[in-house]
Amino acid sequence: MALRQPQARFAVVGQPIDHSLSPHIHRAFARQWSVDLDYGRIELAPSALASGIARFAESGGVGLNVTLPHKQAVMALCAGLSERARRAGAVNTLSYVDGGWHGDNTDGVGLVNDLSQRRGIDLRARRTLLLGAGGAACGVAPALLDAGIGELVVCNRSPERADALVDALAAPERAHSRYWRDLPDLAHFDLVVNATSAGRGIEPLTLPFHLAGAQTVAVDLSYGRAAIDFLAWARAAGCGQAFDGLGMLVEQAAESFFLWQGVRPETDAVYADLRRLADGEAAAE
């Protein structure tokens, strides 16, 4: 597949969006391949999602990354969906093809690539707790199963959403739903993935310490300030390893870049640059 012509328009859409590092990441990828990339941020309220995305296409837009709170709602605007998007029930990457938007989901492969390739973590047979059942959780759950984890327990404050996610996974022997009130009764996990908004100024993060231990890997799908509370819990619970979602962000962006440009960028240098930036900002606070 040939690289797209110079100045094709790309962007990330969400609300809020000012904090997004996606423009920085995609511009770094573009420099590796000498692509003249136009990549911006678009803030849209849910009520303006359809009209805003239509205007973007009319103005020459050919690719969009989709973040909160639009990952599930944007599916209704797609003329076609990849198998990954269908399984996830959520979209984080849009490509304008033959006069319509095609939806894909690169979150799952982004998480798995960060953990298995960058961190060297063997995911096979790990008993996994997935906190949350929204668009981010839906995006990573199928990929975790494909990566060979053992039992997947989905826990959400809204029981119906946890049940719906597990039903959609269609893996009754491996995937099960539990409710937030059940957390004190659950046994130890080898992998804990936080895909909720708990601890981000919306609601407090309260998790029992016995869910994790020295062999547990803890991952928050967010990064920066949004991941502080969960990572603090992971340290207090004695988790052997704990990461925020910055590595996943870079890896899912690399998959989006490949879908749009037909070439795979190198991610380690981009991640290292963002890690230094994020750690520097945290030290300055």
* 132 assigned binding-site residue: yes
Cα dihedral 92, 98, 100, 102, rounded to 10, equals -20
* 223 assigned binding-site residue: yes
Task: Determine the Cα–Cα distance for residues 175 and 262; give it in Å rounded to an integer.
Answer: 34
* 160 assigned binding-site residue: no
* 116 assigned binding-site residue: no
* 47 assigned binding-site residue: no
* 135 assigned binding-site residue: yes
Q: What is the DSSP letter of 190?
A: S
Helical H segments across 106-224, by residue range? 107-113, 135-146, 159-169
* 21 assigned binding-site residue: yes
Task: Determine the Cα–Cα distance for residues 62 and 10; give it in Å rounded to an integer.
Answer: 6
* 136 assigned binding-site residue: yes
List all residues 6 or more positions away from 69 whose beta carbon is below 8 Å from its beta carbon.
14, 15, 46, 135
* 22 assigned binding-site residue: yes
Is 57 a catalytic site residue?
no
139's tokens = 């995006």
Helical H segments across 63-119, by residue range? 83-88, 107-113
Sequence-ordered strand ranges (E) for 180-270: 191-194, 217-220, 241-243
List all residues 6 or more positions away from 54 whose beta carbon is below 8 Å from its beta carbon.
none
Beta-sheet strand order (sheet of 93-97): 38-43, 9-14, 61-66, 93-97, 100-104, 80-81
* Cα-Cα end-to-end distance for the chain: 45
| Catalytic residue (one of 71, 84, 102, 126) | 71
**Measured at the alpha carbon of residue 99, what is the angle toward residues 104 and 73, in degrees to the nearest 5?**
40
b/e map 70-81, b = 16+ CB within 10 Å: bbbebbebbeeb
* 83 assigned binding-site residue: yes
* 133 assigned binding-site residue: yes
b/e map 182-205, b = 16+ CB within 10 Å: ebeeeeebbbbbbbbbbbbeeeeb
Binding residues, by number, are 20-22, 67, 83, 92, 107, 132-136, 221, 223, 245, 252
Active site residues: 71
Binding residues for NADP(+), by number, are 83, 132-136, 221, 245
Binding residues for shikimate, by number, are 20-22, 67, 92, 107, 223, 252
